[in-house]
Amino acid sequence: MKLAAAAALTAIAVAAPAQQRPAPPPPLAAWTPKKTPATPWRAPNRPWWKLADVKALHRGKPNWTQAVIRNKDLVADWHQLAPGGRTTTLAYSDNRTAIIVWEGELRVTMAGQGAFTARKGFEIDVPFRVSFTLESVGDTPALYFQLNAASDMPLYPADTPAPAKVSGWAYEKRIVTGGPGGFDDRHRPFLDYYGEIVGKGARPGAFIADQHLFVNNIRGRATPTPPASNLGHFHVGYDEFWFVMEGNVTLQVEGQPVFTAAAGDIISAPQGHWHRASFGGPEGQWGTRVAINPYPAGGHAYTEESQGKQ
């Protein structure tokens, strides 16, 4: 979520290394449509998916998947792989895949890149039409959070057996043009968030900022929760959700009691809901929320008196 600096949040916003962040453009005063009623939380979506609750749903199972986010733009699931487990090699058709590793060790093999082992806090970017495989290589299960564009479907190598049937789709051998996606000065295969940002003090910011996917690390220190009169903002055309990477995040979202989530939790605000995220927990504690939505330059609608600030 791209926000103007605000005393209430003391967040470190997106910044390019060794460059001064350009001043944001002036806000636009406009009659702004707010979806009424706001989009509800439809299962599996929830205001607050506690990691402890996700694990409880699958207690005793070595391998499992839990759907967490389903909206018109993005889908996201928790996955657990038992030691030695391996995913099917596949690629996604038209958009990047983002993965956050939370427990265990995950060996990532990506076409055109050297294989690497990801651990807690690693953020992984797989470009479109790049085949990849994940393997749990530690002594404990690998737990990871994966998100994709809702419109994407997996592609499977032509030299592998026909994939399992999917309702509404028929897999056929075809020639796919366009070539694979890749990396540039803004996108790289992975970020070791705890090693680079928390441990070495590198600046956080957007890990992925591309068509249909914005994965943005926002870091700051805990402050007193702003008053309820500070509504934050809403989005005209899309949902937003956050992965709590570090510390605590307090969310005020229209229609729900204010709550404070912990690291590993997923919190969300559907389209049209006023919402305000701030860093919670003991005052001064560092926190990170990974803001996820489909639009790197998405608009934020604020109250007139806020002057476009939260």
Is the pTM higher than 0.85? The answer reads yes
Token digits of residue 40? 């509800």
Per the domain annotation, does 3 fall within a domain? Answer: no
**Predicted local distance difference test score (pLDDT) of residue 18:** 45
Per the domain annotation, does 12 fall within a domain? Answer: no
For the stretch 214-243, pLDDT in tens is 999 999 999 999 999 999 999 999 999 999
Residue 4 has pLDDT above 80, yes or no: no
Residue 15 has pLDDT above 70, yes or no: no
**Mean pLDDT, the chain, whole residue set:** 93
The C-alpha atoms of residue 266 and residue 80 are separated, in whole angstroms, by 16
Per the domain annotation, does 17 fall within a domain? Answer: no
Per the domain annotation, does 15 fall within a domain? Answer: no
Residue 8 has pLDDT above 70, yes or no: no
> Tokens 């949902």, residue?
239
- Could you check whether the bond before residue 27 is cis, i.e. omega within 30 degrees of 0? no
Question: Going by C-beta distance under 8 Å and a sequence separation of 6 or more, which residues neighbour residue 151?
Answer: 94, 95, 212
**Predicted local distance difference test score (pLDDT) of residue 37:** 92
CA-atom Rg of the chain in angstroms: 20
Per the domain annotation, does 54 fall within a domain? Answer: yes
SS3 category, 235:
coil
Residue 13 has pLDDT above 50, yes or no: no
Token digits of residue 193? 């968030």
Q: In degrees, to the nearest 5, what angle opens at C-alpha 229 toward C-alphas 228 and 232? A: 85
Per the domain annotation, does 210 fall within a domain? Answer: yes
> Tokens 């460059």, residue?
19
Per the domain annotation, does 1 fall within a domain? Answer: no
Q: What is the average per-residue pLDDT within 180-202? A: 98
The C-alpha atoms of residue 137 and residue 178 are separated, in whole angstroms, by 33
Per the domain annotation, does 234 fall within a domain? Answer: yes
CATH number of the structural domain spanning residue 279: 2.60.120.10
Token digits of residue 188? 């790289």
Q: State which residues form the domain around 170.
A: 25-306
The C-alpha atoms of residue 2 and residue 293 are separated, in whole angstroms, by 10
Domain count for the chain, please give it. Answer: 1
For the stretch 72-129, pLDDT in tens is 999 999 999 999 999 999 999 999 999 999 999 999 999 999 999 999 999 999 999 9
Question: Going by C-beta distance under 8 Å and a sequence separation of 6 or more, which residues neighbour residue 196?
Answer: 202
> Tokens 């909206």, residue?
71
